[in-house]
């Protein structure tokens, strides 16, 4: 902890060019100009950074002006937080959303109680139900009547215990037509 405090104190009074590589320092300096010129805080600014190995990361930064007794800006106080893991997870979620949306397979997402949370476009094309009609419903809405209670009990047991289920089920479209699906 003492080492962290010592490193933080060593930064006091330094210009961006004394702390960061020139390209990064230029980005930071340019976004600090309004803080110095107008006394306007910089909040939630997201910038890339590169570590010693050249790997790109991301920081979210807040910077506030420091004023003297006469109200003149004489410096700034800044805090940055490494949000690299957050940005990487965000990118993975965006990819998963694109896969979900563009899949040709019908996909239904439910809560553990069976309430439908979301469906993709392929699901709406297969079943005839719009997203608005089906979200909030229970998958029972598709029940064809061709399976026993034991079949559904076994299916839900696998879903709960294994996190997935694979098999054939006969469902009913909005139109009433019964169809088989995997």
In SS3 terms, 105-144 reads as: CCCEEECCCCCEEEECHHHHHHHCCCHHHHCCCCHHHHEC
CA distance 151 to 5: 63
Nearest residue to 124 via CA among 139, 136, 106: 106
Looking at every residue in the chain, the average pLDDT score rounds to: 92
Predicted pLDDT of residue 27: 85
Residue 22 has pLDDT above 80, yes or no: yes
Residue 109 has pLDDT above 90, yes or no: yes
> Would you call 144 exposed, middle or buried from its count of C-beta atoms within 10 A (0-12, 13-18, 19+)?
middle
The confidence band for 125, taking pLDDT boundaries of 50, 70 and 90, is very high
- What is the average pLDDT across 77-102? 94
CA distance 17 to 144: 69
Predicted pLDDT of residue 10: 87
The confidence band for 163, taking pLDDT boundaries of 50, 70 and 90, is confident
- What's this model's pTM, rounded to 2 decimal places? 0.64
The confidence band for 2, taking pLDDT boundaries of 50, 70 and 90, is confident
**Which of 10-19, 119-128, 155-164 has the weakest average pLDDT?**
10-19
Residue 5 has pLDDT above 80, yes or no: yes
Three-state DSSP at 59 gives strand
The confidence band for 115, taking pLDDT boundaries of 50, 70 and 90, is very high
Q: Provide the H-helix boundaries in the chain.
A: 2-11, 16-19, 22-38, 84-102, 121-127, 131-134, 149-162
Spatial CB neighbours of 160, under 8 Å, sequence gap ≥ 6: 112
Residue 114 has pLDDT above 80, yes or no: yes
């Amino acid at each position: 902890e003492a080492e962290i405090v010592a490193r933080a104190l060593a930064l006091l009074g330094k210009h961006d060019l004394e702390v960061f590589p020139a390209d990064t320092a230029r980005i930071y300096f340019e976004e600090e100009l309004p803080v110095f010129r107008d006394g306007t805080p910089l909040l939630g600014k997201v910038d890339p950074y590169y570590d010693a190995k050249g790997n790109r990361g991301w920081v979210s930064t807040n910077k506030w002006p420091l004023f003297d007794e006469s109200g003149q800006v004489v410096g700034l106080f800044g805090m940055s937080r490494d949000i690299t893991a957050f940005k990487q997870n965000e990118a993975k979620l965006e990819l998963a959303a694109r896969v979900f949306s563009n899949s040709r397979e019908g996909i239904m997402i439910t809560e553990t109680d069976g309430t439908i949370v979301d469906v993709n476009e392929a699901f709406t094309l297969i079943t005839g139900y719009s997203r608005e009609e089906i979200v909030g419903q229970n998958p029972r809405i598709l029940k064809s009547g061709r399976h026993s209670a034991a079949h559904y009990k076994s299916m839900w047991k696998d879903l709960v215990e294994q996190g997935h289920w694979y098999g054939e089920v006969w469902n009913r479209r909005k139109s009433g037509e019964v169809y088989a699906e995997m």
